[in-house]
Structure 1
Amino acid sequence: MLDSHVRRLIDKPLTSVASAIDRPWISPDRLTIAGLVLGLASALAAALTLWWLALLLWLASRILDGLDGSLARLRRSREDAGAGGSSEAGGFLDIVSDFVVYGATVFGVAVGASVAFDAPWWPFALVLLTYYVNGSAFLAFSSTAERTGRRIDDGRSLSFLGRIAEGTETIIVHSLWLVVPFLAWQIAVVWGVFVAVSAVQRIVVGYRSLR
């Protein structure tokens, strides 16, 4: 819901940073992998109830997740493929890394909240279920749209069906979990319902778009 607005706000700053770090030994794929490592470290820190460390690692991971695409587009605009420009492999790596980090973070917060605050597990299981349904709808639509020539080109590697729960909302909610972990399971209940509604929207809109 907020992605398009936020992307317009952060596009120039991210491009400026990407220009500043544009070195032969820094590639979009390496930034993606660094973001993945930091995201997994954030999940581990959350599981150990190191909430503020987890928050810093999470935000750093998401910044790198934005920078990898900015650097890829910068190099593509110069047609400098030899310097590690945008590629199908890079887009694949990016989306897989996002899914791994999102799932790991939910699991890490669930472990930490259950240990520190005796939080129930089912709200986090609900979030993982809705993530699974969303991911299935998103990837199935992207694959079918690509094959049938109905690709949605918004600058991202895959055709993305934007709905009320997108990347920006996910970053905000995961951050809230780490800022107020004693309310993590209650936030997870609300977020799970929110993402479930988004999943239904994606399924309906995706089906209608492909008919």
Structure 2
Amino acid sequence: MIDDPFRQWLSRHWGAPAIALHRAGITANQVTVVAAVLGVTASALVAVHLTGSGIALWLVSRLLDGYDGMLARLAGNGSLFGGYLDITFDMLAYSAMAIAFAVAMPADVVLWMVVLLGYVLAITTTLALSSLAEKTHRQLSSDRSIQFTRALAEGGETTLVYVLIALAPSVSRYVLVVWIALLAITVIQRTALARRLLS
């Protein structure tokens, strides 16, 4: 829900780093890979109870992930493979962090397993709807490689959940229950949209 507004804000107010990276010859795909490596490293830190350092590095990785699209547009060489790489590595990072929290908080492991199930269903409904809508020549979203539909549970909300749990682990179960509900609503929303557009 907050992903597109954040990208627009980042592009308008913090575009200078993307310009600097472009001038240095850094490609969008390289930024995507580095962001994923930082995200997985952040997950490893959380898993071994270095939560503060892990979440700080996670925020850096997600901020960096916001620049790959900008870099591709600056270079004028955005590719479908770049879009593939971006969504694949994003899911790697988000899932790795969920597993890290499950390791660090074994009492909540079942809830984290349900969260991972929610991720699988959320991304499956996204990709299936995007692919099938393209066959019917329907435009669902902006000029991104994959057509995402706005939803309650997106990357920005995922990061907010991770930060909240890191800062207040005592309420993690309540946060996770709400997060699971939002993931479920997201899947239902996309399924209803798919029924309306594709029937």
Verify: 1:41 aligned to 2:41, yes or no.
yes
Structure 2 match to 1:108: 100
Q: Is the contact between residue 113 and residue 182 of structure 1 (CA under 8 Å) also seen in structure 2? A: no
Task: Give the Å deviation of 1:113.
Answer: 1.7
Q: Distance in 2 between matches of 1:15 and 1:72?
A: 13
Q: Is the contact between residue 126 and residue 189 of structure 1 (CA under 8 Å) also seen in structure 2? A: no
The CA deviation string for residues 130-170 of structure 1, in whole angstroms up to 9 with x for no partner, is 11111110010111122221133413110111111122211
Q: Distance in 1 between matches of 2:166 and 2:188?
A: 28
Structure 2 match to 1:88: 80
Deviates more, 1:190-199 or 1:28-37: 190-199
TM alignment of 1:44-193, pairs within 5 A = 44-76=44-76, 85-114=77-106, 119-193=107-181
Q: Distance in 1 between matches of 2:196 and 2:167?
A: 39
Structure 2 match to 1:196: 184
TM-score scaled by length of structure 2: 0.93
User: How many residues get paired?
Assistant: 199
Structure 2 match to 1:81: none
Runs of 5+ consecutive residues of structure 1 not aligned to the other structure:
77-84
Counterpart residue identity of residue 150, structure 2: G
Q: Is the contact between residue 28 and residue 72 of structure 1 (CA under 8 Å) also seen in structure 2? A: yes
Deviates more, 1:96-105 or 1:184-193: 184-193
The CA deviation string for residues 97-125 of structure 1, in whole angstroms up to 9 with x for no partner, is 111111111000111122xxxx2311111
Describe the SS at the equivalent of 1:120. Answer: helix
Percent identity for Structure 1 against Structure 2: 35
Counterpart residue identity of residue 121, structure 1: V
Q: Is the contact between residue 15 and residue 74 of structure 1 (CA under 8 Å) also seen in structure 2? A: no
Task: Give the Å deviation of 1:64.
Answer: 1.2
Task: Give the Å deviation of 1:24.
Answer: 5.2
Q: Distance in 1 between matches of 2:118 and 2:52?
A: 26
Counterpart residue identity of residue 163, structure 1: A
The CA deviation string for residues 145-200 of structure 1, in whole angstroms up to 9 with x for no partner, is 22221133413110111111122211211221222233333311210111111111
Describe the SS at the equivalent of 1:22. Answer: helix
Q: Is the contact between residue 36 and residue 97 of structure 1 (CA under 8 Å) also seen in structure 2? A: yes
Describe the SS at the equivalent of 2:140. Answer: coil
Describe the SS at the equivalent of 2:145. Answer: coil
Q: Distance in 2 between matches of 1:37 and 1:181?
A: 25
